[in-house]
Amino acid sequence: MSVIINISRRDFLKTGAMIGGGLMLGVFPRFEEAYGESAAAFVPNAFIRIGTDDIVTVIVNKSEMGQGVYTSIPMVVAEELEADWSKVRIEPAPVDPAYNHTVWGPIQGTGGSTSTWTTWDQLRKAGAAARMMLVQAAAETWSVDPLTCRAENGFVIQTGTDKKLSFGKLTEKAAQMNVPQDIPLKKPEEYKLIGKPIKRLDTPDKSMGKAVFGIDVKRPDMLTAVVARCPVFGGKLKSFDDKKAQAVKGVKSIVQIPTGVAVVADNFWAAKLGRDALEIVWDEGPLSGFDTKKQREEYASLSKTPGAVARKEGDAEAALAGAKKRISAEYEVPYLAHATMEPLNAVVDFRKDGCDIWTGTQFQTIDRNSAAEVLGLKQEQVKIHTTYLGGGFGRRANPHSDFVSEAAHVAKAVKKPVKVMWTREDDIKGGYYRPMWYDRMAAGLDESGNLTGWKHTIVGQSIIAGTAFENALVKESIDETSVEGAQDIPYDVPNIIVDLHSPKYPIPVQWWRSVGHSHTAFVVETFIDEAAYAAGKDPYEFRRGLLSKDPRTKALLELVSQKAGWGSPLPKGRGRGIAVHKSFRRDYIQRRESGPEQFS
């Protein structure tokens, strides 16, 4: 069966690809290679396939790691399409420019709580365009005015008559329709799915054990590998003796790769026992004597000196010096591993003419390109199959593609399909942590207990430095992810300074869950409580008095306090606290819309 789209690729590239609130219409490149030519009768755009069996498949370009995008994204499409929800299916998107992030630039990825709002307009228009083409197809079939027809629950119906055709019956005709350019969208009051309680599409397979995570993938003739890595970051291999490891039943080969020594076996346990039997001599490098106590002392010392200024209003130093009461505090948080439920893993099937990779990834483009470089292939010769992720929290959006590149190295060495697995211990010790942070705070209060000055000095490694996002997110020595939630606090303080030190340490770090907010929310709100206590004021009333310039946050605080019964008596032995924090504010994110310029 041939798919007919009445728009040329040249015209599509000229006018059809709109990013950030727009729409990507047209069949994405290599559709037939990805799904087979007979996969669908109607392919109106890169996100939708409708078969003659009425099944609507939504191609999801975000990774499902438990957050629900395999339901929320299809909901947005189905809402405008007027699809029958019981016939909606999901499929992970291949790596293709059609699925690039609409804000980050030329990269396909998931993270930063951006999936819904960055695809909202794009997906609504994709669904609405398909609906309009189906309606047009029905109208031409019946020789009636399209304005007399409507789509509803998987059918196109002519108003005032008993005429109706299912989407599946209209696919061949709809495939011949022009892609509409003027695409009206529903009003919120017309929504039937969005905002309503809907059963998740991924729940049945997960409940039945059918959902395939990266660690579940099996391929014909596949081997399993684990890697012995230097126990000290920055170290390297000096020598190894594998005689005992080779004697372990099931071990097939032992190969040296850039990150260490890979033990390849018939199964995980054999590979693990083989690794245990290795005799390795490591050059532990410059970090062999690393001492976190000394690092903490260096951080504390830095926090007493001026850093790069992230925000400055008024004269905080003068306000603090002249305050009726001054308080201060230091806060420390440690390096933290992502600790996902599913340890890192990747399956790589490398051949001379191409490669297939199955993994739970948040950075499809970067992983695809990195693997291609390792394997000496063209980027288009590498296909990423995104599985379910047993947790991600940013770890599977590694800017250096560490676990996928490593698996590619192993596959290149053994020349067979191989699954490289990390143990739980490997995962925790393997690095790319949330940085250790040290925050020094000071605040001044007047006679009435009002905040007059605020100083916040932050010390911690940059998670952006050295990555493809550096040019976009590091401005004048300020990594914005380090100070988010601190430089943009909602409280109205007349004199404020927030500054930053970003010391360089060879301990690998990256984004972790709520990124900068994972430490700034704790620090700012805890210190606000300290200030309220010093002012002799109720923590809720103290915050409320500082939110006159942020009515939305003030209204939220008031609602929460009301729902919590703030101020009402509590049973003996009970306590009550309150805090308010803005994380991933959309207006803040939109100031950073210039993503990485290129990913090689």
* DSSP notation for 453-502: EEEEEEEE--SSTTSTTHHHHEETTEEHHHHTTTTT-SS--SSEEEEEE-
% of the chain residues with pLDDT over 70: 91
> Identity (one letter) of the amino acid at 77?
V
Average pLDDT of span 483-499? 97
Q: What is residue 147's predicted lDDT score, i.e. its pLDDT?
A: 97
pLDDT band at 18 (very low <50, low <70, confident <90, very high): very low
In a 3-state reduction of DSSP, which class is residue 415?
coil
How far apart CA 529 and CA 543 sit, in angstroms, is 9
Q: What is the pLDDT of residues 200-211, one digit of tens each?
A: 999 999 999 999
Q: What is residue 32's predicted lDDT score, i.e. its pLDDT?
A: 34
Q: What is the pLDDT of residues 383-413, one digit of tens each?
A: 999 999 999 999 999 999 999 999 999 999 9
171 pLDDT above the threshold of 70:
yes
Average pLDDT of span 221-236? 97
Which has the higher per-residue pLDDT, 474 or 180? 180
Q: What is residue 41's predicted lDDT score, i.e. its pLDDT?
A: 84
CB within 8 A of 120, min separation 6: which ones? 21, 76
**Strands 223-229 vs 155-158: parallel, antiparallel or unpaired:** unpaired
16 pLDDT above the threshold of 70:
no
Q: What is residue 585's predicted lDDT score, i.e. its pLDDT?
A: 61
pLDDT band at 477 (very low <50, low <70, confident <90, very high): confident
Q: Which domains does the chain have, with CATH numbers?
A: 9-207 (3.30.365.10), 215-285+339-429 (3.30.365.10), 292-336+433-590 (3.30.365.10)
599 pLDDT above the threshold of 80:
no
Q: What is residue 8's predicted lDDT score, i.e. its pLDDT?
A: 38
24 pLDDT above the threshold of 70:
no
Average pLDDT of span 131-149? 98
% of the chain residues with pLDDT over 90: 87
Q: What is the pLDDT of residues 99-117, one digit of tens each?
A: 999 999 899 999 999 999 9
Look over the chain and give the mean of its residue pLDDT values, rounded to a whole number.
91
414 pLDDT above the threshold of 70:
yes
Q: What is residue 348's predicted lDDT score, i.e. its pLDDT?
A: 98
How far apart CA 11 and CA 13 sit, in angstroms, is 5
Q: What is residue 259's predicted lDDT score, i.e. its pLDDT?
A: 98
Q: What is residue 586's predicted lDDT score, i.e. its pLDDT?
A: 52
Which has the higher per-residue pLDDT, 426 or 5? 426
Q: Between the CA atoms of 213, 215, 221 and 224, what dihedral angle is there, to the nearest 10 degrees?
A: 170
Listed range (9-23, 393-407, 421-435, 497-511) with the worst mean pLDDT: 9-23
Q: What is residue 468's predicted lDDT score, i.e. its pLDDT?
A: 84
> Which residue from 495, 490, 473 is spatially nearest to 597, judged by alpha carbons?
473
Q: What is residue 597's predicted lDDT score, i.e. its pLDDT?
A: 41
Q: What is residue 476's predicted lDDT score, i.e. its pLDDT?
A: 83
Q: What is the pLDDT of residues 525-557, one digit of tens each?
A: 999 999 999 999 999 999 999 999 999 999 999
* DSSP notation for 37-55: TTS-SEEEETTEEE-TTS-
9 pLDDT above the threshold of 80:
no
Please give the DSSP secondary-structure letter assigned to residue 381.
G
Listed range (48-52, 229-233, 582-586) with the worst mean pLDDT: 582-586
Listed range (12-16, 43-47, 352-356, 508-512) with the worst mean pLDDT: 12-16
Average pLDDT of span 255-276? 98
233 pLDDT above the threshold of 90:
yes
